[in-house]
Amino acid sequence: MSNPVYLALDMPQLDASKALLQQVKAHIGGVKLGMEFFYAHGAHGVREIAHCGLPIFLDLKLHDIPNTVAGAMQAINSLEPAIVTVHASGGRAMMEDAKAAAGENTKVVGVTMLTSLDERDLERTGVKGSPHDHVLRLAELAEQAGLDGIVCSGHEVAAVHKQWRKGFFVVPGLRPAEGAAGDQKRVVTPRKARDDGASVLVIGRPISRADNPAQAARDIEATL
């Protein structure tokens, strides 16, 4: 089985990103580029990172009216990303149009509830009920809209996997047993997420901020 770990390259410096990637690339299965990197380096930066030969997950978390999101998707098609994110709360029509505009080899996944949020945060945004119910509801909407899968925390992935057997599930908010959670609130270990049905494990700081990133990536790989 291929390595499910996608390294989140969350840094604005292109050279430092490439250097980190060189150190760890033998121990990961893909690279995630998010808004921090993309706003700094755009399509050129994505192409530079793609030279490493690993699949690229373009985590742009698109969230706008359907026409605008479809246009954004078309604008990034030439980069041939393996995975792209949209916010599931953007609604069914937005997700349908995003999927229709994406390249045929790109998986479009809907971000459900950010792993940095808990039930109290959810309530403050006006959503009543548990994160579990909220994630399952948005997963159902994403499936109806024809998306390939969703992004959720390791707390929900087992239930979502049960509800959507063929879905593609991206799980961030991962920490090895001794790792500091930082701004993440719904956290599990990489192994637990994988055992519960995650297709992709997104891992950033536990590798990128480690004293020895290659060793950290190797240690995580060994737990899987």
Ligand X SMILES: O=C(O)c1cc(=O)[nH]c(=O)n1[C@@H]1O[C@H](COP(=O)(O)O)[C@@H](O)[C@H]1O
What are the catalytic residues? 59, 61, 64
Nearest distance from residue 58's CB to ligand X, in Å?
10
Nearest distance from residue 165's CB to ligand X, in Å?
22
Comparing CB distances to ligand X, the nearer of 101 and 201 is: 201
Does the annotation list 27 as a binding residue?
no
Does the annotation list 67 as a binding residue?
yes
DSSP annotation of 77 reads G
Nearest distance from residue 112's CB to ligand X, in Å?
8
Q: How many CB atoms neighbour CB 55 within 10 A?
A: 18
Nearest distance from residue 68's CB to ligand X, in Å?
19
Comparing CB distances to ligand X, the nearer of 59 and 148 is: 59
Residue 158 · residue 132 · CB < 8 Å = no
The 10 Å CB-count burial string (b at 16+, else e) for 136-147 is: bebbebbbebeb
Comparing CB distances to ligand X, the nearer of 80 and 121 is: 121
Instruction: In whole angstroms, give the CA distance from residue 119 to residue 184.
Output: 13
**Strand ranges (E), the chain:** 5-8, 30-34, 56-62, 83-87, 107-111, 149-151, 168-171, 200-203
The amino acid at residue 188 is V
Nearest distance from residue 194's CB to ligand X, in Å?
15
The amino acid at residue 195 is D
Q: Rg for the chain (alpha carbons), in Å?
A: 17
Does the annotation list 63 as a binding residue?
yes
- For residue 128, give Cα distances in angstroms to 83, 158, 197, 201: 30, 22, 27, 28
Does the annotation list 126 as a binding residue?
no
User: Which residues of this chain interact with ligand X, rule CB under 6 A?
Assistant: 8, 10, 34, 59, 85, 111, 114-115, 151, 172-173, 184, 202-206
Comparing CB distances to ligand X, the nearer of 90 and 173 is: 173
- Burial class, 126, CB count within 10 angstroms (exposed 0-12 / middle 13-18 / buried 19+): exposed
Which tokens in the block code for residue 170? 């991206």
The amino acid at residue 67 is N
Does the annotation list 166 as a binding residue?
no
Instruction: Name the residue number minimizing CB distance to ligand X.
Output: 204
Comparing CB distances to ligand X, the nearer of 167 and 206 is: 206
Does the annotation list 205 as a binding residue?
yes
Name the binding residues. Answer: 10, 32, 59-68, 115, 175, 184, 204-205
Name the binding residues for substrate. Answer: 10, 32, 59-68, 115, 175, 184, 204-205
